[in-house]
Structure 1
Amino acid sequence: MKTTLFFLFAFVFLKVTAQQTVTGYVLDANTKEPLIGTSVFYDGTTIGVVTNTKGYFSISTEKNSTAPLVISYFGYKNKIISAVGKKDLGTIYLQEEVEQLNEVVLEPDTWSREKKLRIFRNQFLGTTLPAQKCKILNEDDIRLYYSKKEDVLYAYVNKPIIVVNKFLGYKLSYYLQDFEVRYKTNVNGFRLTGSVFYAGTALFTEINKKVKRKYVKNREITYLGSTLHFMRALSAKRLTEENFRIFKESLEVNPYDYYKVEKIEDGSAKVVQSLERLNILYNRWSNSFVVVTQNPFYIDAYGNHSPVDVVLFGGDMGLLRIANTLPLNYESVK
């Protein structure tokens, strides 16, 4: 079983109670003029709108959500706002993004851009079949730097990375905030990928107005056995019914001997994993493991866990990247 851990921080936590509508105005912080066409969206979902000629927006969700709203306008700094319990956000001011010179790098970068870009694609999109159907439309906007001293590859971008996923039928706008690939050398002297970390906010939009049948099929295939599927099954205490088998090392165990799940009134669940690491087998073919560094953690009615950084996946689940990511409001056809 592969031991590379994958860390993905999406600043998201959803809570279900009832439909909600949030309104507000987006203005330039200096001129106080309305910013027309500003994107306003719930992070990691397909739920988004743009401001009108007065800078006004009204965004609705079918369920109450504690996911942050992302306010984004080209040439301005993004704002991430919590709209929990609010109906009117009033006036939101965006500051212009000041173009800064690249940081002075005393250590020369010894890797070619072609090599760095190939690694970035593999670690950001993944190497699965869906990844082969993905294309980044603005690769020239991505700045890459390899530090030989730290043995880390970094990526920076001041525009959203636009990805067209022709396997799932989505166009993804990803606002990258951090990206690192850290390498390590094992006891045998072989250099390996130690960990991958990236963080940001994302908006999904449909490629086609009418979703093609192949996309519906591919989305369900991608969902089954995913971390989102696992979390939803865990919260509902349906791991066995959903074809997830849990192992303590190589010994299969009753999942709920090691998971204590307590339902909360708002539809979320409080979870305690009593052993730091448990192995997961899905449908006899997908081998993964989950490491929990802090208890308890919470799973909302959408299947999103919080805090996001205390649950780490490795193995097959840990290898999944943006190309295999579904919107957080995706509903299984089952």
Structure 2
Amino acid sequence: MKTRLFFLFALLFLQAFTQNTVTGYILDEVSKEPLQGASVFYDGTTIGVVTNTDGYFSISTEKNITASLVITYFGFKNKVVSAVGKTSIGTIYLQEAVEQLNEVILEPDTWSREKKLRIFRNQFLGSTLPALKCKILNEDDVRLYYSKKEDVLYAFASKPILVQNKFLGYVLEYYLQDFEVRYKTNINGFRLTGSVFYAGTALFKELNGKVKQKYIKNRKITYFGSTLHFMRALSAKKLTEENFRIFKESLEVNPYEYYNVEKIGDDNTKVEQTLERLNVLYNRWSNSFVVVTQNTFNIDAYGNHSPVDVVLFGGDMGLLRIANTLPLNYEPVN
């Protein structure tokens, strides 16, 4: 019994010792008063805390993470800061959000809200099986506008979009910063979706207190073959072991013929993709491609790549939306 207790204590001490902790204070910019209950979380994860009566917070991760730290408080503008390599971000002042009238739109909107909302759901949540199990809980907070002149659908939200995902077992708070669906007409005169772009920050919360077995199973199904799985396998130089195959056009190549992978410390990896586009086949059924706008990018210990906008995914990976998104700190459970 003494041996077991000592072993347990040693494990707990090691875990506490290896945690990465960031602290700080959140205050009102005008009154300089502390903001109690402000939410502080790492973007795209389940890792979040709230401030105490002094506006103080302390947030910890088991590994170094490059995701931004997001600070939110009702009635105030959100703040996004980088905490990479820091143990403290000092004092952060939040500005009160000024309620503004809707922008004056000179061009009339010719689409009904029902049509715009249907397109928004499809492009934001996705069209996969998990999307059928998702519901936006506060659709009234989403403002939509279609510009006939630009042939673009825009979406805005001053409050976080709340998504209930009954496939993965999460409630997602998504702070939308930008959303655009651009259309184009091909040479045959058919009108098609040209591109979809959305950006924002997200906090994941468990849907239930106890994670159900079906959620554990669905999360594993969603993880394997995802962009998160790909980035982690690439960082660890285990693409082949993780059933990823790399192609230059239709010719299969050695996975690391066009990828240079260099470890930087224990928790970060520098990757160079020497060809602009590479095709990726996962487990013989998932066809995707990876396009880089600059040759080099970094991957942290959680599989989060940065800068985020230099790596673009198409094919099966490119079709995945919010409904198929897992927290960056997700780990498959055996």
Quote the offset at 1:65 in angstroms: 2.5
Correspondence for 1:153: 153
Q: Deviations over 1:177-207 (max 9, x none)?
A: 0001111111222111111111111100111
CA distance in 1, matches of 2:125, 2:252: 32
TM-score (norm 2): 0.91
Distance (whole Å) between structure 1 residues aligned to residue 159 and residue 23 of structure 2: 25
CA shift for structure 1 position 66: 3.1
Give the match for residue 4 of structure 1: none
- The equivalent of 2:13 in structure 1 is none
Q: Distance in 1 between matches of 2:269 and 2:307?
A: 13
Q: Which residue of 2 aligns with 1:215?
A: 215
Match of 1:296 in 2: 296
Counterpart secondary structure, 1:326: coil
Counterpart in the other structure of 2:106? 106
8 Å Cα contact 2:45/2:204 also seen in 1: yes
Q: Which deviates further from its counterpart, 82-91 or 242-251? A: 82-91
Structure 2: unaligned runs, 5 residues or longer: 1-16
1:162-183 C-alpha deviation (Å, 9 max, x unpaired): 1111111111000000001111
Q: 1:31 aligns to what? A: 31
Q: How far did 1:67 drift? A: 2.3
> Higher helix share goes to which structure?
2
Relative distance call for 1:85 and 1:303 in structure 2 (3 A) is closer
Secondary structure of 1:256's counterpart equals: coil
| 1:35-184 equivalence runs, <5 A | 35-184=35-184
User: After the TM superposition, which parts of structure 1 deviate over 3 Å for at least 4 consecutive aligned residues?
Assistant: none
Computing the radius of gyration over CA atoms, which structure comes out larger, 1 or 2?
Answer: 2
User: Match of 2:312?
Assistant: 312
Q: Which has the higher contact order (CA 8 A, sep 6+)?
A: 1
* Cα contact 1:107–1:147 (8 A) shared by 2: yes
1:195 aligns with 2:195: yes
Gaps of 5+ in 1: 1-16
Aligned partners of 2:64 and 2:300 also within 8 Å: no
After superposition, the C-alpha distances for 1:110-141 in whole angstroms (9 at most, x for unaligned) are 11100100110011110111111111110000
The residue aligned with 2:11 is none
In the alignment, is the contact (CA less than 8 A) between 1:18 and 1:64 conserved in 2? no
Whole-Å Cα distance in 1 between the matches of residues 327 and 23 of structure 2? 22
Partner of 1:238: 238
How far, CA to CA, are the matches of 1:221 and 1:304 in structure 2? 19
- CA distance in 2: counterparts of 1:178 and 1:40, whole angstroms: 21
Structure 1 residue 332 corresponds to structure 2 residue 332: yes
- Structure-2 change in CA distance of 1:271 and 1:130 (3 Å): same
Q: CA deviation at 1:102?
A: 1.3
Aligned residue for 2:226? 226
Compute the displacement of 1:267 (Å).
Answer: 2.9
Identity of aligned residues (%): 83
CA distance in 1, matches of 2:262, 2:245: 20
1:36-55 deviation digits (Å, cap 9, x = unpaired): 21111111110101122332
Q: Aligned partners of 2:24, 2:263: CA distance in 1, in Å? A: 34
Alpha-carbon separation, structure 2, partners of 1:174 and 1:126:
15
CA distance in 2: counterparts of 1:324 and 1:176, whole angstroms: 17
Once the two structures are TM-superposed, the CA of residue 276 in structure 1 deviates from its matched residue by 1.2
Q: What CA deviation, in whole Å up to 9, does each residue of 1:223-275 have, x standing for no partner? A: 00001111111112211111112222222222212222222223322222222
Which SS does the other structure have where 1:255 is aligned? coil
- CA shift, 1:87, in A, is 2.8
Instruction: Determine the C-alpha separation between the residues in 2 that align with 1:235 and 1:61.
Output: 19
CA distance in 1 between counterparts of 2:302 and 2:43 reads 13
Name the CA distance, whole Å, in 2 between partners of 1:280 and 1:67: 25
| Cα pair distance change 1:281/1:65, threshold 3 Å | closer
Aligned-partner Cα distance in 2 for 1:76–1:83: 21
Q: Tell me how far apart the structure 2 counterparts of residues 56 and 269 of structure 1 sit (CA, whole Å).
A: 32
The superposition leaves residues 53-77 of structure 1 with CA deviations (integer Å, 9 ceiling, x where unpaired) of 3322221212233322111011100
CA distance in 2, matches of 1:35, 1:79: 13
SS at 2:257 equivalent: helix
